[in-house]
Structure 1
Amino acid sequence: MLASQRRSAIADLVEREGAVRISELVERLGVSDMTIRRDIDRLSSDGVVERVHGGAVAREGTRRSEEPGFAAKSLLQQAQKRAIARAAADLVEPGSAIGISAGTTTIELARRLVTVPGLTVVTNSLPAAQLLHEAAGPGQTVILTGGVPTPSDALVGPIAVAALESLHVDVLFLGSHGVDAKAGLTTPNLVEADTNRALIRAGLRVCVLADATKWGVVGLGTFGRLDDVDVFITDSGLTPGARRALHEHVGELVVVEPEDDPA
């Protein structure tokens, strides 16, 4: 395969799947890791894809109704998400009941909770439910809401909302597609917005997990106000202006430094 054909194949995969890992491309195309990295660098410089750690993702669109897939989002801001999850895990008490919304930052939190004894987790995240079910610690209970899956692997819709209306958790850990001083917490999926509002109603305390790149992003639908947030955990990439805005509205702002160690 010529280099131009190989790059075209990579671009097609990224467009179709939203994201692709270098290891996957090595296997599919039968070339070296270094060759794939050079191809991605070229595609990135040409404005075709966005290079991220471990692979490439589709370039971010401007449509407020566009919903990226879970695989695409999982490649972004990995160190920041791990640090945010570590801070969030410190808020979880053994024997408590918590809610975890769908998202690639909240799945990092789920990974850190498998050893917490007596924990009850209510979630509409398929990956989080599977992870916790397979590696459940002593006395843990996982409650999956049910519903219709979205591209971000969230279960949403009337079934999910109905399940959440009768549940109550001590702390809700909530991800968000976008965060804005005026628009609040937003998502491109209106049905997911309804489900997220039900999650917020179920939580005694609401803790939002959102890396700095989420600030200023406005999705199609608002599902929560910043004034609804008790704790907002983000990373040190957040601008001073954004920090001031959050300090004015949320109960507590926690800013973490990204982790260098993937472990």
Structure 2
Amino acid sequence: MRSTERRRQISSLTAVKGRVTVIELAEKFGVTAETIRRDLATLDAQGGIRRVHGGAVPSQNYRTEFTPFESRAQSALDAKRRIARKALELLPPPGSTLFLDGGTTTALMAEALATSGLESIPHAPTSGYVPPYKLITNSLPIAKTLADSEYFDIQLLGGKVRPQAQAVVGNIATQTIAVLRADVAFVGTNALTLNHGLSTPDEEEGAVKRAMVTHAEHVIALVDATKFGLDYLVSFAAIEDISTVVTDLQPHESYVAALENAGISVAFAEK
């Protein structure tokens, strides 16, 4: 495991558990205590954690508040709709397998797919049989929106329903994803920073998102400009895990340059 990935996981573990020790981290990652101390020193200098005797505790930089799905659905709505429509251009050919996680922008993407039909699907033949996508989601709204579409074979993950997010979470969902593989994962996020990657305030939602990212060939993050520079409790993807970021036209150019320098495509939704 690369040091950057190990440090990202240490940041998330510290945020979730409230306190971690050098000994437990060394055992978890299979490295020496001295390596962990260097990691903690680096993270402390970056503001990701605060070092204490024998380990680390969270810094106060991470946001923890959770906004219900209905409220989030109204935030930056025009930008999210444009991002959702732009994301349709990045669909792989029909017959591919997709992950769509539980989020407001991915839900708008599903609505766009349901209303625009065949013409919204790249690479689809203009006539004749179109093999359906296999679409795997933990989102109740997405499953409902696309349930009657002839172009999608929907698999709704099992598990515990989290009402605030209208999504399925828990061990059953993550264990199911672990035996699957998708060509593309379309994921939403509450926040994006270069150090902490994509993050969310809820550990269980983050676990499902992380599983989708891990088991997808390509990861497309749908991120409106209000999410750049925010940092929430649970990191579920490092910047290096992302293939493409789809956003509106407002992110600071320093973010765009940094993403492109990291080999990540940035697609802009037109007004």
TM-score (structure 2 length as normaliser): 0.68
Say which of 229, 235, 245 aligns to 1:216.
229
Q: Answer yes or no: is 1:94 the counterpart of 2:106.
A: no
Partner of 1:248: 261
8 Å CA contact 1:211, 1:235 repeated in 2: yes
Say which of 132, 140, 143 aligns to 1:129.
143
Kindly report which structure 2 residues correspond to 1:91-240, keeping only aligned pairs within 5 A, or say none.
Answer: 91-92=90-91, 93-114=93-114, 115-116=117-118, 117=130, 118-133=132-147, 135-138=148-151, 140-150=152-162, 151-240=164-253
8 Å CA contact 1:147, 1:155 repeated in 2: yes
8 Å CA contact 2:159, 2:169 repeated in 1: yes
Which is bigger in relative contact order (C-alpha 8 A, separation at least 6)?
2
* SS at 1:113 equivalent: helix
Where does the alignment leave 5 or more consecutive residues of structure 2 unmatched?
Answer: 1-60, 119-129
8 Å CA contact 2:62, 2:231 repeated in 1: no
**Separation (CA, whole Å) in 1 of partners of 2:141 and 2:202:** 19
Deviation string for 1:73-125 (max 9, x for gaps)?
11111111111111111122222211101111001111122335412110011
Partner of 2:13: none
**What is the number of residues matched between the two proteins?**
195
Deviation string for 1:152-185 (max 9, x for gaps)?
2221110110110111111100100110111111
* SS at 1:163 equivalent: helix
* SS at 1:74 equivalent: helix
**Separation (CA, whole Å) in 2 of partners of 1:121 and 1:137:** 12
**Separation (CA, whole Å) in 1 of partners of 2:89 and 2:112:** 10
Summarize the Cα distance change of 1:164–1:235 in structure 2 as closer, same or farther, 3 Å threshold. same
**Separation (CA, whole Å) in 2 of partners of 1:161 and 1:212:** 29
Q: Identity over aligned residues, as a percent?
A: 31
Partner of 1:79: 78
**Separation (CA, whole Å) in 1 of partners of 2:62 and 2:86:** 32
C-alpha RMSD over aligned residues: 1.6
* SS at 2:221 equivalent: strand
* SS at 2:105 equivalent: helix
8 Å CA contact 2:84, 2:106 repeated in 1: yes
* SS at 2:110 equivalent: helix
